[in-house]
Amino acid sequence: MPPPPPPLLLPAAPCCPRAAAARAASRFAAAASSSGGGSGGGGASTARPPPPPPRRRRGKPGFSRQSAIKKSFHQEQVVFSTPVAPDPSVAVIGGGASGLACAASLAARGVRAVVFDTGMHGLGGRMATRAIAAGGDQQQQQQLVFDHAAQFFTASDERFKTLVDEWMDKGLVREWGGLIGQLDAGGHFSPMPPSPPRYIGVDGMRPLADAILPESDLIEVVRPCWISKLEPFNGLWRLFENEKPHGQYDAIVIAHNGKCANRLLSTSGLPLLTRQMKRLQLSSVWALLAAFQDPLPIPQNDSCGTFGGAFVRDVDSLSWMANNTQKLFPLQTGRPECWTFFSTAAYGKRNKVPQENIPKITAEKVKEDMLKGVELALGLSRGSLQQPFYTRVQLWGAALPMNTPGVPCIFDPQGRAGICGDWLTGSSIEAAVLSGMSLANRIADYFASSGEQPEEFAIGLHEDLNQVEGHDIGQFPGLESQKPHVAEAQLTPST
């Protein structure tokens, strides 16, 4: 057997990479033979499709594009009163499920979209998969594959079902036949019903993110790129990564949340969007990826066998565990078992550190706590769990929304800016995709309107946020959570 690689710290998913290389990679190089001028995206090809037929213009003919500034709520509210360009473009800041769905839906409505994302390894945000080569020489290397955020998804809305069907047709998605259930501390497992169906990415979650985007000249992707500044200028939004300009756009979409979004919005001139974003509360969840040479001693269910995933109850350091090897390679034998473990949100909160810079001592402690949690959940005696030959820990510092305004998206027509994301209606991939679709349609409708009553298109600017019910890793129909009863001893913070 090759010598075990040392435990590694997984760098946090880049949210605000301060020194991100500004390499623009256009997946969908615009190949239209007719070139267009006007606002361009991120330094890659900016060729435009043929312009649509002339539209009714707003405002006086010859009126120059200007943005007016009006005082309101702590910041100055930007008010764009000038006509929208005949072939408008939208900057989508965030390439997770919501931002990608937004860009795809904008393109479907004939609106150009440029997606900016910080992802060093790929698009997808919290739809994240890691493939790691572990082992000694090349011949003995083993691929360890982990979904290290979203584990599976359900589909209840027809619009999302259509997308899932497309993924199925392309062979990217299949139903997860694995047994899922609830694991109470001590190894007591109760299966959950197989319906509604649960889906997984055949090669993990991340490839699905790419598949959200259709091949279209109307979509451009710029990655890795961290947009750090928004500036209204001459009736358009200008975007910057540090001081580097990244084009100008008729509207912007904030398709991410947390500290990054709060910082970006705080000087944007969008006080209503800023206020809604600031109201959002997010949980923190630790992920432990661990590979074991031998199968874990999972309790057998007489009728159904061993489980593939379990919502864990009564264990403070553990809320979910899933066997990625069984999930992604169900027909292969002899592979090491790759498990994804998630802490509870309560544990994540108590043990929160800056996710970009996790102290080694914290990473070690979290790993120990979570492996002890696995023993407790499986009813194993202390110290009897086999040592994983590979581990990584990661903190999802802005893991899941704890409150929601319950609207599909937020749009401020005066500022020509919107927000989409899972948190608008809940906490799942489905919620994120639907939010992106919704905002795209809202923006496209606004662009297509005469512009006489922009306020008709406003949505979500004043709603209060209410608590989200669900599991620590999201809300799933048919898998409603019961309140965890964390054992008293487990609640004591370890020092």
Ligand X SMILES: Cc1cc2nc3c(=O)[nH]c(=O)nc-3n(C[C@H](O)[C@H](O)[C@H](O)COP(=O)(O)OP(=O)(O)OC[C@H]3O[C@@H](n4cnc5c(N)ncnc54)[C@H](O)[C@@H]3O)c2cc1C
Q: Which residues bind to ligand X, rule: CB under 6 A?
A: 14-15, 93-99, 116-119, 125-127, 149-153, 225-227, 255-256, 260, 264, 285, 287, 342, 396, 399-400, 421-422, 427-429, 432, 473-474
> Rounded to whole angstroms, how far apart are CA atoms 385 and 136?
24
Residue 492 C-beta: closest distance to ligand X, Å: 24
The residue with its CB nearest to ligand X is 96
Main-chain phi, psi angles of 84, to 5 degrees? -80, 145
Nearest CA to 39 among 446, 416, 457?
Answer: 416
CB of 430 to ligand X, least distance (A): 6
CB nearer to ligand X: pick between 82 and 340:
340
Check: CB of residue 22 under 8 Å from CB of residue 241: yes
Give me the least distance between CB of 334 and ligand X, in Å please.
Answer: 27
**CB 170, min distance to ligand X, A:** 19
How near is the Cβ of 116 to ligand X at its closest, in Å? Answer: 4
> What letter would DSSP give residue 9?
E
CB closer to ligand X out of 125 and 232? 125
Residue 55 vs 356, nearer CB to ligand X: 356
Between CA 93 and CA 90 the distance in angstroms is 10
Q: DSSP of 204-264, one letter per residue?
A: BSHHHHHHHS-S-TTEEEE-S----EEEEETTEEEEEETTEEEEEESEEEE---SHHHHHH
489, HSE (Cβ side, Cα atoms, 13 Å): 5
Amino acid letter, 404: T
Give the residue with the Cβ less far from ligand X, 315 or 399: 399
Q: Between 123 and 218, whose beta carbon lies closer to ligand X?
A: 123
Between 132 and 429, whose beta carbon lies closer to ligand X?
Answer: 429
Between residues 85 and 91, which has the closer beta carbon with respect to ligand X? 91
Q: What is the DSSP string of 12-54?
A: PP-SS-TT-------SS----SS---SS-BSSS----PPPPSP
Least distance (Å) from ligand X to the CB of residue 494? 21
> Shortest distance, CB of residue 106 to ligand X, whole angstroms?
15
Distance CA 85, CA 37 (A): 11
Q: Outline where 52-134 has alpha helix (H).
A: 97-108
Nearer to ligand X, 75 or 344 (CB): 344
**DSSP 8-state code for residue 336:** P
Find the shortest distance in angstroms from Cβ 163 to ligand X. 13
* CA dist., res. 182 & res. 478, Å (int): 13
Check: CB of residue 124 under 8 Å from CB of residue 400. no
